[in-house]
Chains A and B, each alone.
Chain A
Amino acid sequence: MSIIEFKNITFRYESDDEGVVLAPAVKDFSLNINEGDFMAILGHNGSGKSTLAKLSNGLLLPESGTVLVDGMDTKNEDDDIKIKQTVGVVFQNPDNQIVATIVEEDVAFGPENLGIEPTEIRRRVDESLKIVGMYKYKKHEPHKLSGGQKQRVAIAGIIAMEPRCIILDEPTAMLDPEGRRDVMKAIKRLNRELGITVVYITHYMEEACEANRIVVMDDSRLLMDGTPKEVFSDTDKIRNIGLDVPQTCQLAKMLKNDGIKLKNDLLSIDELVENIDELLKGH
């Protein structure tokens, strides 16, 4: 079942002061996001990824076409709160998303605004902070946390609203390797243990490999849609639009071009090492 459906949507930002009409940021775009998906969205800067994130829960409305969230049209104002409860968005910069001076109060902000009763808020805040591994910091001041910790607090704030789908727009772009690993771990738990649909926008190809489905955008349109193995096996197509493939795929491709008979769909380090080992055994 689809949780979000984009049906032939086009969106363009308002023209500037001089009245120059801008090109559409998303053009005739259709996509179904299924309940339970862990989808990564790739594309170079300006390809329309962030616009798509904002269109998916009514932060922006399409110029033409329809966005349905669990069957509700984002253009229908009466459903606005329900839609935002169903789909939550986490943005790139953690500093722009923290509103309170104590971690647990920040996480409580969303459910408070939904008018949920205090005992239930307490339960949700504790639960959410545990999921992202930030429970022991609940009394801390958010501005003193590291980037990765702040981002996990921001994610907890969204989880506390109990959405069925979370969209994350480059949540690790400003983080160090450890911060990236921790955020990724939290997101995988949301998807695998809680069954929350995850849409993950990123520039890190290694992170995209963790998804079960990758959508590649180029020039405001959908270019590819498949499993990580399907998408990254087309090294040339990915590189032609200015993206990269994981280093394992690059290496495998170079060796295969030389006639070494590696498998076609090697993605992880272990898969590649395993395959090299198989080829060399007995030689």
Chain B
Amino acid sequence: MSHLRTENLTFTYGEGTPFKITALDNVNIELNKGEFVAIIGHTGSGKSTLVQHLNGLLKPTDGKIFLDEKNIHSSKSTLFDARFRVGLCFQYPEYQLFEETVYKDIAFGPTNMGLSKGEVDERVRKAAKYVGIPDEMLSKSPFDLSGGQKRRVAIAGVISMEPEILILDEPTSGLDPMGREQILSLIKNYRENTGKTVIIVSHSMEDVARFATKVIVMNDAKVEMTGTVDDVFEKASRLREIGLSVPQITEIFIKLREKGYNVSEKIYTVEQGYLELKKLFKGRGIS
């Protein structure tokens, strides 16, 4: 049984006007518990529109979304249920911090869920710890923090609701390499420790290659392909055609193969590349 799936999901902006745009066109995706899903695609391909449907923020023009095989739009209570079970963290979430203190900001979600004060407190501290926000920072104004810290507070605000499915729309954009690494490893740890499903929307093919267990490629409002990292990145030329790319390291191996070397093309991380080249050098008596 799938955990979350869409059935012929279609969404149009400006229906009935000359500016009608189809943002999603018959999208069918299926996610299982515990997967680390990456959604990639060029700007305007429908990625953000898709994830905003998954917790019922947008209502489909046509088609359905099922959470544990229940249509999330079948009643008010199923929709309410989806909002809490599927947590969505927008792009540039730091612009959405609004409370006086970091604590209150992280507490906003769990408080709205109707949890007791004690439970809320426990969740706030747990979430803050997850994202590496120390206790003494909880009483500060979120506006006094650095960009990377604000981003982590915003993510904590979603994690504190303990959603079964955590969705992050481009969680690392605009961050420096260290900030990027921190966010990615906290997401990875969160998934490993809780067994929850994580979905990220990403423009970084390098990051996708390192973390995803399933990749969904969007192109012009449709699902272009779905599969493992291997399945997707081996179609390098198609990815380039639709405005994407493969990791730099993968390019190296594509070129070595063109030169006639018998190396694997399924190399997506520097670590894999290193091992493959070691093998190549060793095979030729160089080490």
Contacts and interface: CB of A to CB of B under 8 A. Distances in A.
A255 B249 CA distance: 14
Contacts of B44: 146
Contacts of A248: 248-249, 252
A185 to B, nearest CB: 14
B188 interface: no
A176 B203 contact: yes
A279 B270 contact: no
Contacts of B41: 176
Contacts of A273: 252, 255-256, 259
Nearest to B260: A277
B115 interface: no
B206 interface: yes
A250 B248 CA distance: 11
A255 B274 contact: yes
B244 A242 contact: no
A273 B255 CA distance: 7
Interface string B169-181: 0000111111100
Nearest to A282: B284
Contacts of B176: 43-45, 203, 242-243
Contacts of A279: 281, 286
B42 interface: yes
Which residue of B144, B205, B249 has the most chain A CB atoms within 10 A of its CB atom? Answer: B249
B42 A178 contact: yes
B270 A251 contact: yes
B121 interface: no
Interface string B258-287: 010100000000100110011011001111
A178 B146 CA distance: 29
B249 A247 contact: yes
B230 interface: no
B274 A280 contact: no
B192 to A, nearest CB: 24
B157 interface: no
Given A177-B243, A269-B255, A283-B284, A148 B43 contact: yes
A78 interface: no
B148 interface: yes
Contact of A179 (B43, B205, B249): B43
A175 interface: yes
Interface string A148-186: 100000000000000000000010011111110000000
Contacts of B287: 258-260
Q: Which of B43, B205, B278, B287 has the most CB of A within 10 A?
A: B43
A176 B206 contact: no
A1 interface: no
A242 B255 contact: no
B60 interface: no
A170 B270 contact: no
A97 interface: no
Contacts of B175: 45, 203
A224 interface: no
Contacts of A255: 274, 277-278, 281
A270 interface: yes
A173 B170 CA distance: 11
B284 A280 contact: yes
A43 B41 CA distance: 28
Nearest to A49: B176
A86 interface: no
B271 to A, nearest CB: 9
B6 interface: no
Nearest to A180: B203
Nearest to B263: A276
A21 interface: no
Interface string A33-59: 000000000011110000000000000
Nearest to A241: B178
Contacts of A244: 177
Interface in A181-214: 203, 205-206
A251 B174 contact: no
B274 A251 contact: yes
A23 to B, nearest CB: 12
A246 B248 contact: yes
B264 to A, nearest CB: 15
Contacts of B110: none
Contacts of A205: 177
A280 B261 contact: yes
B234 interface: no
A182 B113 CA distance: 45
A45 B274 contact: no
Given A176-B42, A177-B42, 7 more contacts: A174-B173, A175-B43, A243-B176, A247-B206, A250-B270, A251-B252, A251-B274
7 contacts: A44-B179, A92-B174, A178-B42, A251-B274, A259-B287, A276-B256, A277-B259
Of all A-B residue pairs in the complex, the 10 with the closest CB atoms, nearest first, are A242-B178, A178-B243, A283-B284, A244-B177, A44-B176, A247-B248, A177-B245, A273-B255, A176-B43, A146-B43
